[in-house]
Chain A
Amino acid sequence: MDKATVGFAPWDAAAAATMIAEMQDLPGACLPILHRLQGEFGYIHDEAVPLIAGALALSLAEVVGVIEFYSDFRRTPPAVHQVQVCLAESCQAVGSAALAERLTEVLGTEIGGRSADGRFDLRPVYCLGNCACSPALMIDGLLYGRVTPDRAPQLLAEVWP
């Protein structure tokens, strides 16, 4: 995974319709389509909902229901950088609380919020599968391990554009 791949295209209904058309015949296409749209545009634009519903013969409510059920899917544009801090047991056992607190201080937001400068979303995650290198953190899809609270500002500085 490359750090340089961060950044999304502006919403484009025609491009979205093309992607949906390409994928609508996949069995159980809804999640793959949502992942593709979010990967492209960063979030699921409201205008995408009727496009998906039409292509998959679902109701608008069904599509919205799926988007809202899964914590990965967003209906509003994300910050440029996604910071996911693990708050599950293995990381708890070696100080994820202190790490999380440090992150909230540095970014000036609560867990689940956006940094004061609007560039970072700070999200909780319950296990990154890096428990043997706890405490763990993921920034823009890249995994970090043995992250002491003091290392957190430096890691964020690395992705600061």
Chain B
Amino acid sequence: MSAWIPGDSGACSVGADDVARAIAAEAEARGLPADFHRNGSRGLYWLEPMVEVDTAGGRVAYGPVTPADVPGLFDAAFLEGGAHPLRLGLVADIPEFARQDRVTFRRSGLIEPLSIDQYRAEGGFAGLEAALAMTPAAIIEAVTASGLRGRGGAGFPAGLKWQTVLDQPAGPKYIVCNADEGDSGTFADRMLMEGDPFSILEGMTIAGLATGAAEGYLYIRSEYPAAALAMADAIQLLQDAGYLGRSVMGSGRAFDVQVRIGAGAYICGEETALLESLEGKKGVIRPRPPLPAVQGLFGRPTVVNNTLTLATVPAILAGGADAYAAHGVGRSRGTSVMQLAGNVKRPGLFEVPFGVTLDELVNGCGGGTASGRPLRAVQVGGPLGAYFPASMLDTPIDYEAVSERGGMLGHGGVVVFDDTVDMARQARFAMEFCAIESCGKCTPCRIGSTRGVEVIDRIIANEERTMNFALLDDLLEVMRDGSLCGLGGLTPLPVSSALRHFPEDFARTARHEGVTP
């Protein structure tokens, strides 16, 4: 008999550790022998803490479990899959799980994150083994053929970036995994680091083989202490087992990885600021050219990829580029790791093929708002992403489709708001966030965002509205066109989409007093 209780910090934030302790104590008190495992999370967070048990038919889940439920679960013989009000049935049959296509997240929640044996048993290292038998050019060809694009925000083709690094003269080259995950509404990197850390390291190693880099850096934001611990342990285990180090799996080819921790600066998620930070400096944007692929970390050719981009590569090499590319639509191939949060009934991580609509995600998987009130807006793609009204939920999740509608897919975060949201406040917050996080290098962003907050404040206060709307338009244009990087350049997206789709919220202050316009 064995039970699986997530050790994921999100699951623990709602009591998974307490549940694990209660289950262990109850099993002991009843003299029941059982194996208890701590897995990652499946991402079905509304069901967390979700406990799974092994049965002949597969893993059966119970959730959300509280410590108070534990004696009752034992009375119901849950370790054998017994009936109980919290019983959810087979994990594979939970509707919001069954409708997913798990590639990048196929092992998260399934295995103990730091078990090399379980990782191997679920297909781990098959991609690396394949890569070790291939030439760098062949590895890159496979990544290119899969259509894999960057999951960090810009959607740049991964194979093309790797090719640029491969083409640089020999000498030190680096693989940098961007696990800064600063976008609000996103948590996939964290879940993967905690739930399947080896997949990230395997992906980094393959990137090293493909480009001739022998050193990797994993830059993790400081807000993720549990993920940083998991990654440090995972690196140590792979070094000890010969998967990382001087001779990767006895191939004679070297690759190793170090963890570095950020220090509370959103801008360090931008790749050139991240490189500055890794070099021990302020996280200030570098002008480009040169591209990091040509002159990156310590002036050397560097691949900077998001955690999810890298972690998807092993599956592509193991399963074949065509199998991956068979998912998706248009130029968005493969699966999209969507993270649904905010005011939504079933928040969580949903890995779906590109092309699924926002409606299928928000209402199909998410079940609509948590409050039960009408949905008014969704913000797609993090703090720099656009606000879409309910009428635009028919938008397919696809890089091009989202940008044609004036937004960006970013790292795949979707935050839901009900009809109590004040979109003028949200627009103000976007400006405020930009002002707080600006690296200070260019004026449109540094000064523009502070002015933006003031101007929106004046609009909200009904002061000289015509003039202030004109001023805001000018500011948005200057920020969009004159900023050196995406922080200043994209902050106009949430602001102008709020203005365009929700003009009534900027119309007068009366709304805040509950008076209809």
**A41 vs chain B, min Cβ distance (A):** 16
Given A31-B260, A89-B184, A131-B413, A70–B9 Cβ distance below 8 Å?
no
User: Given B186, B282, B298, B342, which contacts A93 in the complex, CB threshold below 8 Å?
Assistant: B342
Contact with B along A81-115 (1 / 0, CB 8 A): 00010001111111000000000000000000000
Given A66-B281, A66-B282, A145–B413 Cβ distance below 8 Å?
no
B266 close to A143 (CB less than 8 A): no
B280 close to A30 (CB less than 8 A): yes
Shortest Cβ distance from A30 into B: residue: B280
B14 close to A129 (CB less than 8 A): no
A72 close to B184 (CB less than 8 A): no
A125 close to B263 (CB less than 8 A): no
Interface residues of A in 58-78 (CB under 8 A from B): 62, 65-66, 69-73
B9 close to A29 (CB less than 8 A): no
Q: How many A-B residue pairs have CB under 8 A?
A: 156
- Please, how many angstroms separate the alpha-carbon atoms of A132 and B338 in the complex? 12
User: Given A69, A130, A133, A146, which contacts B265 in the complex, CB threshold below 8 Å?
Assistant: A69
> A128 at the A/B interface (Cβ < 8 Å)?
yes
**B460 vs chain A, min Cβ distance (A):** 16
Shortest Cβ distance from B184 into A: residue: A88
> A153 at the A/B interface (Cβ < 8 Å)?
no
Chain B residues whose C-beta falls within 8 Å of the C-beta of A88 in the assembled complex: 184-185, 383, 433
Contact with A along B185-197 (1 / 0, CB 8 A): 1110110000000
> A51 at the A/B interface (Cβ < 8 Å)?
no
A127 close to B184 (CB less than 8 A): yes
Contact with A along B337-348 (1 / 0, CB 8 A): 001111100011
User: Given B280, B379, B383, which contacts A28 in the complex, CB threshold below 8 Å?
Assistant: B280
Chain A residues whose C-beta falls within 8 Å of the C-beta of B279 in the assembled complex: 27-28
Given A30-B280, A31-B277, A132-B340, A90–B184 Cβ distance below 8 Å?
yes
Given A90-B185, A129-B187, A131-B339, A69–B10 Cβ distance below 8 Å?
no
User: Given A1, A84, A94, which contacts B226 in the complex, CB threshold below 8 Å?
Assistant: A1
Contact with A along B401-433 (1 / 0, CB 8 A): 000000000000101111001000010010001
A131 close to B282 (CB less than 8 A): no
25 sampled A-B residue pairs with Cβ under 8 A = A1-B225, A28-B260, A28-B279, A35-B222, A62-B281, A65-B282, A71-B265, A84-B223, A89-B185, A90-B184, A90-B415, A93-B416, A93-B421, A94-B343, A126-B436, A130-B10, A130-B187, A131-B342, A132-B43, A132-B45, A133-B48, A145-B10, A145-B14, A146-B13, A146-B14
List residues of B whose CB falls within 8 A of some A CB. 9-10, 12-14, 43, 45-46, 48, 181-187, 189-190, 222-226, 229, 260-266, 277-284, 298, 339-343, 347-349, 370, 379, 383, 413, 415-418, 421, 426, 429, 433, 436-437
